[in-house]
Amino acid sequence: MHTTEEYSRIIALHFSPEVVRKPMMYNLAKKFDLTFNILKARISPREEGHMILELSGNREDFKKGISYLQKHGISIQDVAQSITRDESICTHCGLCTALCFNKALSLDPETRVIVFHDSRCTACSNCTRICPVGAMHVETNGDS
């Protein structure tokens, strides 16, 4: 049975200089209909590449995409992650609340402060992309 369940994971990729020159990310999107958001990348033409990305799509396509990368000699690790907020720079503008579907960021109607309930946060990283001052940070264990 074909499932349309959406799936998303943060993964770390390590690859050889030969792979650096191939359009792997382009193929991943085109062949398997996956979307990706590169969170961190260190690539040089003569050295190994290292990349952390959020990969999303249909669960079956996701598995096929991962096999495709592995067949091309790319090693893949899951990356545990968490989100933190830099309280010293948050301006409490409220923009992030519209993108947080887990209600982990909400307006306190009395104080007009945006409260971060980190226990509700699923680390989807939506807020990190919209925050105008970069107060929301992705912390990973795979960025060495």
Task: Rule CB under 6 A: say whether 127 interacts with ligand SF4.
Answer: yes
Rounded CA separation 121/33 (Å): 27
Task: Rule CB under 6 A: say whether 58 interacts with ligand SF4.
Answer: no
Residue 43, C-beta contacts closer than 8 angstroms, at least 6 positions apart: 20, 49, 50, 51
CB of 128 to ligand SF4, least distance (A): 7
Rounded CA separation 16/49 (Å): 6
CB of 58 to ligand SF4, least distance (A): 21
Task: Rule CB under 6 A: say whether 102 interacts with ligand SF4.
Answer: yes
Task: Rule CB under 6 A: say whether 114 interacts with ligand SF4.
Answer: yes
Task: Rule CB under 6 A: say whether 90 interacts with ligand SF4.
Answer: yes
- The token pair at 68 is 């495709």
Task: Rule CB under 6 A: say whether 122 interacts with ligand SF4.
Answer: yes
- The token pair at 63 is 């598995």
Task: Rule CB under 6 A: say whether 133 interacts with ligand SF4.
Answer: yes
